Copies of this chain bind each other. A is one copy, B any other.
């Protein structure tokens, strides 16, 4: 019977496949594995870097409790932004979320922790820039918006403008349903006492200057700001900055934080930058745009461009402050000429890191 016959041809085929199949399977598995490894190596880098202000930040001026609070809040902000990037979200979203967390904390001079102006109110500035489109949004001298960076984003996305200031900017926000709060929301005992101290100091400076017949110096040396620069998996860069400005400020003073090219800049061709420090110097030097320009026109590495601008130009002109930046390849720079800067970062290749003092 055919059924019981030993079919030599069939046996030969079976034997052939029992040898060929494992080899074939091994080859396929190897190819897949190698491909995955190559994917990991060539995967686009991503990550973000933040700051919470530069200035006379040193270990002997901060209590251990306060240091721990800064450490925890900076890390929380970094992790929240990083989670967005890791999940494939945009650098633009990561920047806004990260800054919102710092704005909502009384620790930093932005949003909830904003310093007081001379008239006892809080006047805030913010800006955000999208490195893919070069679109930008900025607001200045606003008093009743809980999260200024989100209003800046609204300006970018829902108006044909880049910059809105004062009550008009708040009116625009109201038309788009952004959260308004009483100016009292921004009251913190710490900042109020700081205003009283600065006013007293300014009075004595004014008196001395008046007696000597010279112009009075400014008493405030407050340099607080928060900022974030991020690179997402799509290779898009974004940067944002938010601030309460100077303690005891007058005359509707606006610093570099809401000025595109001075305190904030992002361009997919090079890097994303956020600055903090004596805003007037950052405005005169176009610090953020100058770092881009040195990379773009001179092929400088981010670290070198940042060093030249902060330790070169800014220091030469007599200004104090720093920047955080991430470039299109995921390289991080945190460069400052002050004693310290609240800062930190996380990238796909580097774990979360938070620093405060001069261990640059």
Contact = CB atoms under 8 A, between A and B. Distances in A.
Contacts of A253: 161, 163-164, 168
Contact of A165 (B136, B141, B158, B162): B141
Contact of A283 (B136, B159, B217, B283): B136
A168 B246 CA distance: 14
Contacts of A290: 289, 293
A285 B134 CA distance: 8
A289 B162 CA distance: 17
A218 B160 contact: yes
A273 interface: no
A250 B164 CA distance: 9
B285 A293 contact: no
Interface residues of A, number: 45
Interface secondary structure of A, over-half rule: mixed
Given A261-B261, A261-B262, A164 B252 contact: yes
A27 B140 CA distance: 69
Interface in A152-207: 158-169, 171-172
State the oligomeric state as a number of copies: 2
B286 A260 contact: yes
A303 to B, nearest CB: 18
A286 B293 CA distance: 11
A284 B169 contact: no
A323 to B, nearest CB: 16
Contact of A169 (B135, B251, B286): B251
A167 B293 contact: no
A21 interface: no
A134 B282 CA distance: 11
A317 interface: yes
Contacts of A168: 141, 250-253
A252 B166 CA distance: 6
A255 B260 CA distance: 12
Contact of A289 (B136, B158, B286, B298): B286
Nearest to A172: B251
A86 interface: no
Contact of A280 (B162, B167, B169, B286): B162
Contacts of A280: 160-162
A294 interface: yes
Contacts of A250: 168, 171-172
Nearest to A130: B284
A49 interface: no
Interface string A282-311: 011110011001100110000000000000
A254 interface: yes
A268 to B, nearest CB: 13
A126 interface: no
A280 B162 CA distance: 6
Given A165-B165, A168-B253, A172-B251, 5 more contacts: A134-B317, A141-B165, A163-B254, A164-B254, A166-B166
Interface of A: 134-136, 140-141, 158-169, 171-172, 215, 217-218, 250-255, 259-262, 279-280, 283-286, 289-290, 293-294, 297-298, 317
6 contacts: A161-B251, A165-B165, A169-B251, A172-B250, A259-B261, A297-B298
